[in-house]
Amino acid sequence: MNTAELICPAGTPAALRTAVDAGADAVYCGFQDATNARNFPGLNFTPEELRESVAYAHAKGAKVLLTLNTYPPAGKVDLWRQAADTGARLGIDAFIVADMGVADYVARSHRGIRLHLSVQAAASSPEAIRYYCEHFGVKRVVLPRILTIPEIREVRKEVPCEIETFIFGNHGLMVEGRCSLTNYLTGQSTNMDGVCSPASDVEYTRHDDGSISSQLAGFTIDCFGPDEKAGYPTICKGRYTAPHRSEGYYAFEEPVSLNLSRLLPELIDAGVNAFKIEGRQRSKSYVREVVSAFRHAVDDIRAGRSANVADLVALTEGQKQTQGAFETKKWR
Amino acid sequence: MAVREMTKLTLGPIAYHWSAETRRDFYARIADEAPVDEVYLGEVICSKRAPFHEPDLSTTIERLERAGKTVILSSLAEVMLKRERKAMEMLCATDGLEIEINNAAGLFARGRRPHRLGPFMNVYNEATIAWMAGQGATHVCLPGEMPATAISVAAQAARDLGLGVEVQVFGRASLAVSARCYHARAHGRTKDNCGFVCEKDPDGMPLRTADDRPILRVNGIQTQSESYVDLLPETERLVADGVTHLRLMPQAVNMAAVASAFRAALDGRLALSDAEASLRDLCGGTSFSNGFYHGRAGYRRIASAATA
């Protein structure tokens, strides 16, 4: 049986130390700019912070993966190249990339450092994955969140690299790296700027009847009753009307989080080499609780015991969870 | 001849599930009346739809070629299932016609044989263009969300390597694709038992916000803009910046007349303001947008000096 690694989010140096202390095998993080897909205010690392964080992680036997997983717009490629060079100099253990130009640069300039293919590249077939492996020497692919476990098992047999899947956290609905919904409403791009439903464009309006509506860039994304907790206005989790759905419905998905804690043994059996926890934008206490719970679960499974994952539903978005596409084709 | 007159007009692949009969009539009219130079055929969005129009494909190709159009076959944007992998492999074995690849699975299958790169390939920059050119790419359609500043740099890089450069100038923007079918979901179905409900919405299913503002369109697994992109006022700058092909995406309007308006403006036979007015008339109440091009929110309509 393979020993699945636990890959944990680090939005800040404090979260990185928390994740390492809670038992992360590796943490992933990025710089404070558009070179990574969580380019949010107050998040991410300066080069000096990354240097100290790499030392901290390495001292405790954990790896540090650098996210360079956005798509540089023409004319700005140097920013991504410099980020790669800086990461290499600071001793990171792997790059996570999506853009082929960036992959090509890293593969040629930093041969000794592992290359992981980001979920943002949306490589969802053995052929697509093999393209990246053969041309850029990719060692691991992060699979899009659209495959069932039997499908993952089939992919695993046909690719020459390790595979990583998301197991917990935000549940993106769109093919990763192919979504410009945020740019359509706000003028900031997920692919080019690393931004999704930016907080600077979010407003909550309380109406006379006590109800609250959430808006993104002036567009109403959802409405909540006086006693409901108002959710964050992410476009693909919004409520809209259609010609035959005048009552309003979640056209894409309800505000739910991915939680595959019950499927871990099956995923390991299908050949998944690494489990990824989403949430670089989440708090230290969230990171501690989620990483600890999954650390125990993975250790139990490795030791042949049945895993008893603590109830994490209170930590999920809208306190609702899903197994998404992993459980059944009916999700599609 | 002025550069603008040499600029090619293309018709992108039909994004919607139009019936076989609608498609036959549509392409007959394009062949007879539309001043487009190149036509992209093929199902890009949903592999379940492909069997409905494959029987007519060779007739359509012949009809368009007899009318002097170059035909290019476009691939699926999403490749995951066995039938999708097979379809991509077969497309990439095509000889005699150009193909446009929209998924990395196609790059694997095609190898270094010549191919075009579609808008779903995420070719955002000169480094990726240089990589792709070395792998046999002859032409690139840039992603719809790229701003003018990046288009200009990318177009120059592509031209320097001998690649054609294409930008969508008309029709709804593709904003996202998913593994989940939102048309099926809206009708309480799933992708596997969808009943092809998407056929009821030839211009996409409109979504409105709770306060009744039009926002998006659903087309099966694809999410599109509510507005039609219209870069007619920007064509002069696009051409000056090195863009060689301008793409019109088929909408449920008179596309032959849309193409005529663009062609007449490009050739200087029609004032920009008149061409723009003609487009307005052709598209009824649908809003126009050009925000992406100007580096602003995509839905916005930024006034340009040319039409002010």
Amino acid making up residue B160: D
Confidence of residue A285 (pLDDT cuts 50, 70, 90): very high
Stretch 265-324 of chain A: residues touching chain B, C-beta under 8 Å? none
Give me chain A's average pLDDT, please.
94
Amino acid making up residue B40: Y
- CATH dotted code for A5-171+256-331: 3.20.20.70
User: For residue B141, is pLDDT > 50?
Assistant: yes
The answer to whether B186 contacts chain A (CB < 8 Å) is yes
Q: Which of A77, A217, A241 sits opposite B297 (nearest CB)?
A: A217
Q: Distance between CA A168 and CA A275 in Å, rounded? A: 9
User: For residue A208, is pLDDT > 60?
Assistant: yes
Residue B216 and residue B223 in contact, taking contact as beta carbons nearer than 8 Å: yes
Stretch A242-252: mean pLDDT: 95
Amino acid making up residue B87: A
Stretch A159-178: mean pLDDT: 92
User: For residue B24, is pLDDT > 90?
Assistant: yes
Stretch 140-159 of chain B: residues touching chain A, C-beta under 8 Å? 143-147, 149-154, 157
Q: Which residues contact B41 (CB under 8 A, 6 or more apart)?
A: B13, B57, B60, B61, B64, B71, B72, B73, B74
Confidence of residue A318 (pLDDT cuts 50, 70, 90): low
User: For residue A316, is pLDDT > 80?
Assistant: no
Contacts of B151 in chain A (CB under 8 A): 74
The answer to whether B241 contacts chain A (CB < 8 Å) is no
State the span(s) of chain A assigned CATH 3.20.20.70.
Answer: 5-171+256-331
Instruction: Determine, for residues B122 and A181 on separate chains, whether the beta-carbon distance falls below 8 Å.
Output: no
Stretch 218-237 of chain A: residues touching chain B, C-beta under 8 Å? 219-223, 236
Instruction: Determine, for residues A146 and B80 on separate chains, whether the beta-carbon distance falls below 8 Å.
Output: yes
Instruction: Determine, for residues A132 and B209 on separate chains, whether the beta-carbon distance falls below 8 Å.
Output: no
Nearest CA in chain B to A185: B297
Contacts of A130 in chain B (CB under 8 A): 108
Instruction: Determine, for residues B127 and A77 on separate chains, whether the beta-carbon distance falls below 8 Å.
Output: yes
Structure tokens at A228: 């409901």
Strands A245-250 and A140-142: unpaired
Contacts of A222 in chain B (CB under 8 A): 210
Q: Distance between CA B54 and CA B57 in Å, rounded? A: 5
ipTM exceeding cut-off 0.90 for this assembly: yes
Give me chain B's average pLDDT, please.
96
The answer to whether A212 contacts chain B (CB < 8 Å) is no
Which residue in A329, A236, A192, A219 sits closest to B218, CA to CA?
A236
Alpha helix segments (H runs only) across chain A: 13-21, 47-59, 77-89, 100-109, 126-136, 149-158, 181-186, 190-193, 264-269, 284-302, 324-327
Q: Distance between CA A102 and CA A96 in Å, rounded? A: 10
User: For residue A99, is pLDDT > 50?
Assistant: yes
Nearest CA in chain A to B218: A251
Count of alpha carbons within 13 Å of B191, Cβ hemisphere only?
22
Q: Return the pLDDT at A324.
A: 84
Tens-place pLDDT, residues B155-210:
999 999 999 999 999 999 999 999 999 999 999 999 999 999 999 999 999 999 99
- CATH dotted code for B3-174+228-271: 3.20.20.70
How far apart are the CA of B21 and the nearest CA of chain A, in angstroms? 25
Q: Return the pLDDT at A310.
A: 65
How far is the first Cα of chain A from the last one, in angstroms, to the nearest whole number?
30
Q: Distance between CA A276 and CA A118 in Å, rounded? A: 11
Stretch A81-97: mean pLDDT: 98
Q: Distance between CA B52 and CA B45 in Å, rounded? A: 13
Q: Distance between CA A265 and CA A155 in Å, rounded? A: 18
Tens-place pLDDT, residues A72-82:
999 999 999 99
Contacts of A141 in chain B (CB under 8 A): none
Which residue in A190, A211, A71, A306 sits closest to B150, CA to CA?
A71
How far from chain centre, in Å, is Cα B77? 12
Contacts of B187 in chain A (CB under 8 A): 244
How far apart are the CA of A45 and the nearest CA of chain B, in angstroms? 25
Which residue in B68, B71, B78, B82 sits closest to B41, CA to CA?
B71
User: For residue B42, is pLDDT > 90?
Assistant: yes
Helix, strand, coil percentages (3-state) for chain A, rounded to 5, are 40, 20, 40
Instruction: Determine, for residues B108 and A127 on separate chains, whether the beta-carbon distance falls below 8 Å.
Output: yes
Contacts of B146 in chain A (CB under 8 A): 73-74, 192
Stretch A248-277: mean pLDDT: 93
Stretch A1-16: mean pLDDT: 90
- 8-state DSSP, B252: S
Q: Return the pLDDT at B308.
A: 41
Structure tokens at A138: 């990719």
Which residue in A195, A183, A142 sits closest to A164, CA to CA?
A142
Tens-place pLDDT, residues B68-80:
999 999 999 999 9
